[in-house]
Amino acid sequence: MPNIKSAIKRVKVSEKRRLRNASQKSALRTAVKAFETAVTPEALINASKKLDKAASKGLIHKNAANRKKSRLAKKLNALTAQA
């Protein structure tokens, strides 16, 4: 455990951020999995919003978010073209 006041604060702040990041990342994964099972335009919009939000907050890289959104849209378009 740190003894210096600023180091104690850093530990508290970093723990709060870690928990918030873990929660947001979990919600992101849940939204993507919900799209994978449903494959509907509404689920795609929800997953895209979560990906954009995560990228803007620095949770995931911007290009990674765009790549994932592209792959999800590609999956939706392939299924709608079949039907």
pLDDT tens for each residue of 4-46 = 999 999 999 999 999 999 999 999 999 999 999 999 999 999 9
Residue 80 has pLDDT above 80, yes or no: yes
**Residue 21: closest CA among 51, 60, 48:** 60
Whole-model pTM: value is 0.88
Which CATH number is associated with domain 5-82? 1.20.58.110
Residue 83 has pLDDT above 80, yes or no: no
pLDDT, mean of residues 73-82: 95
pLDDT, mean of residues 40-65: 97
User: Residue 56: CA atoms inside 13 Å, Cβ hemisphere, count?
Assistant: 6
- Domain ranges (residues) in the chain: 5-82
For residues 75 and 20, give the distance between their C-alpha atoms in angstroms, rounded to a whole number: 30
Q: Is the four-CA dihedral 43, 44, 50, 53 of positive or negative sign?
A: negative
